[in-house]
Amino acid sequence: MFKALLLEKGDTFSASIQSLDEAALPPADVLVRVDWSTLNYKDGLAITNKGPVVRQWPMVAGIDGAGVVLESSHPAWKAGDAFIHNGWGVGETHWGCLAEKARLKGDWLVKLPAAFTARQAMAIGTAGYTAMLCVLALEDHGVKPGAGEILVTGATGGVGSVAVALLGRLGYTVVAATGKTAEADWLKALGASSIIDRAELAAPGKPFQKERWAGVVDAVGSHTLANALAQTRYGGVVAACGLAQGADLATTVMPFILRGVTLAGVDSVMAPLARRQRAWDRLARDLDPAKLETLIEEIPLSGAIDKAHALMGGQVRGRVVVRIAG
């Protein structure tokens, strides 16, 4: 038997910590012990039933996990190996990692970099790994430190806070957009050069505005993304990875055909292994462990349901790390 955060839906929805039989785990070629997990925005949607994340019921929540392989029939993994898991529909269509045990596909797993403990890997989690993918998108499209201001939206959230820390350490001039003005000093300590109120971007705006941003990391979507595009400088790049404000995008082709702006979509769920490994290797090199520690709020598995509600209520900053055992 093992403890897990189980989501059930019949006539009503429920989320609870339960003891489950290992025999109930779905088929896959690697059995793991999960030592640490985390709460991402998608986990919050699933646990609070505020979005259609879960596709099969019942479901063990948790898209991220880190720990140790217990058994494996996959050639790349053996008992005792340390792993990281992010995405791949886990917690949506396959039982997830907010649990003491999980059965996962070896092709989904990434080797834990020597630079990180399992706890640190989950402090990064899908949110931080997505932030690194966004930074790589800016780099791959030629946006270099010194090119100009880089806007990070949703800056106190999981993606945004790691993006601020990464970009700041890499030498970019970071402007953090947030509705939590009390967190300005924290964001500057992470690496932001200046702060703007998210309200400046959150309302419908003109489709073509004064040029400002050399690059953008956007986890918000909707009007915020539309305004960011309208303000991006000639040849600039906008990495879009989230929809905290909404999935809509009311914009025009003007930034693209008159300023050569690139809108780079960033997906973390189904990203191929080579891209994942590149992102984790760069995180090991470029993310300051001391800055990472300032992002962390640690909770036990028993506190994950309440914290998911707080996350969806905008009452969480940085990264929530879930201690699975004990």
Average pLDDT, the chain: 95
Domain(s) labelled CATH 3.40.50.720 in the chain stretch across 125-265
The structure's pTM equals 0.88
Largest CA distance in the chain: 61
Q: What's residue 51's pLDDT?
A: 86
Domain(s) labelled CATH 3.90.180.10 in the chain stretch across 2-112+295-323
E-strand spans in the chain?
2-9, 13-20, 30-39, 59-60, 64-72, 82-86, 101-104, 109-111, 149-152, 173-178, 194-197, 213-218, 232-240, 262-265, 296-300, 319-323
**Crossing angle of the two packed helices 158-169 and 273-286, in degrees rounded to 10:** 60
Ramachandran quadrant class, 176 (left: phi over 0; alpha: psi -120 to 50; beta: rest) = beta
Q: What's residue 10's pLDDT?
A: 87
Segment 12-26 shows an average pLDDT of 96
Residue range 125-265, CATH number: 3.40.50.720
Q: What's residue 326's pLDDT?
A: 64
pLDDT digits (tens, 9 = 90+) for 108-154: 999 998 999 999 999 999 989 999 999 999 999 999 999 999 999 99
Class in CATH terms, 2-112+295-323: alpha beta
pLDDT at 318 over 90: no
**Percent share of the chain, pLDDT over 90:** 90
| Phi, psi (deg, nearest 5) at residue 228 | -60, -45
